[in-house]
Chain A
Amino acid sequence: MSYVIAAYAVTVIILGGYGLHLSRERAALRRELSGGDESNAG
């Protein structure tokens, strides 16, 4: 049973962690790019 839990936990941790990492970097870049937009316009 612990093997099964380990296998599913590994899956969730890796894919979930990657998803979180992606969304964080996307949010940061979006903010940076839209901020850069305004300074360019000004």
Chain B
Amino acid sequence: MSMAPPPQSRWHTATAVVLAVSAVAWIWLVWNAPVDSRQGEIGKILFVHPPAALGAYLGFILTGVGGALYLWRDDERFDHLAAAAAEVGVLFAVVMLLSGPIWAKGTWGKWWSWDLRLTLTLLLFFVYVAYLLLRSFTEGSDRVARFAAIYGIAGVAVIPLNYFAIDLAAGRSIHPENLGGDSLGAGMGWPFAMGLVTATAAFAFLLVRRIELGWLRSERARREALAGARGAS
């Protein structure tokens, strides 16, 4: 039995190169970025926190898309994509949920505020933690994939509903607007944009490797099942 090479090995090099180049550019740009006139140095967290949020949302949306494609096409690879996207997305969400309070402590003077946007993002994070727990508590790879797909789709469907909920409290949110008006000072556009690029590259880098890991794990499970069947006969 010859092992087919992992389907995305070309992507390993590509994502590594893009990540390396963009990370260097990002660090250089952040280092030389102008200091925000109102916030001071701490404003530089702006170049890491929203990009982390981008990675988290990318992960969550891909989890839903992968799950939907899995149910539609019944192809195991889409399940690997969904599982990988959820795990990497949760990691980015952890970065977002840590860098946010660090910024808030320096700017608002407190680590956390029960602001609607913060709260809903925290809950979204719990949705994907629950997703990962559901995967680990369910037995049978086919069942895991089906259950996870349904839950991932439900999780994505809730994102716009949560935004609708934030609208309800419009004006009472103390979180800065996403890309509104004057939140970016002069000369801060480039490091910010590069942060988004780097986050996407890091996301792709980790995603590709996590997908391969999922593939290797299921390959091992398949062989163990095969060996078990052979041993029994």
Complex: A in contact with B (CB within 8 Å): yes
How many B residues are at the interface, by size bracket?
20 to 34
User: A22 contacts B213, CB within 8 Å?
Assistant: yes
Helix, strand, loop or mixed for chain B's interface?
A: helix
Interface of A is mostly: helix
Say yes or no: B42 contacts A4, CB within 8 Å. yes
Contact partner, B220, options A4, A15, A32, Cβ 8 Å: A32
Q: Identify B48's interface contact among A11, A29, A37, A40, CB under 8 A.
A: A11
| B95 on the A face (CB < 8 A) | yes
Q: Mark A5-18, 1 if CB is under 8 A from B, else 0.
A: 01110110011001
Task: Determine whether the beta carbon of A26 is less than 8 Å from that of B209.
Answer: yes
| Those of B36-83 within 8 Å (CB) of chain A | 41-42, 44-45, 48-49, 52
**Is B45 a contact of A4 with CB atoms below 8 Å?**
yes
A20 vs B21: C-alpha distance when bound (angstroms): 19
Contact of B209 among A3, A23, A34, A40 (CB under 8 A): A23
- Contact assessment for B91 and A10 in the assembled complex, using a CB-CB cutoff below 8 Å: no
> Considering only CB atoms, which chain A residue lies closest to B226 in the complex?
A40
B102 touches A10 (CB 8 A): yes
Chain A residues in 8 Å Cβ range of B103 = 3, 7
**Residues of chain B from 91 to 146 with CB closer than 8 A to chain A in the complex:** 91-92, 94-95, 98-99, 102-103, 105-106
Given contacts A7-B49, A11-B95, A15-B95, whether A22 and B210 have CB atoms under 8 Å apart is: yes
Does B175 reach chain A (CB closer than 8 Å)? no
**Contact residues in B for A37 (Cβ distance below 8 Å):** 1-3
Pairs A–B under 8 Å by Cβ, sample size 18: A4-B41, A4-B42, A8-B48, A11-B99, A14-B91, A14-B94, A14-B95, A19-B206, A22-B213, A26-B209, A29-B213, A30-B216, A33-B219, A33-B220, A37-B1, A37-B2, A37-B3, A40-B1
Listed in ascending order, the chain A residues whose CB lies under 8 Å from chain B are: 1, 3-4, 6-8, 10-11, 14-15, 18-19, 22-23, 25-26, 29-30, 32-34, 36-37, 40-41
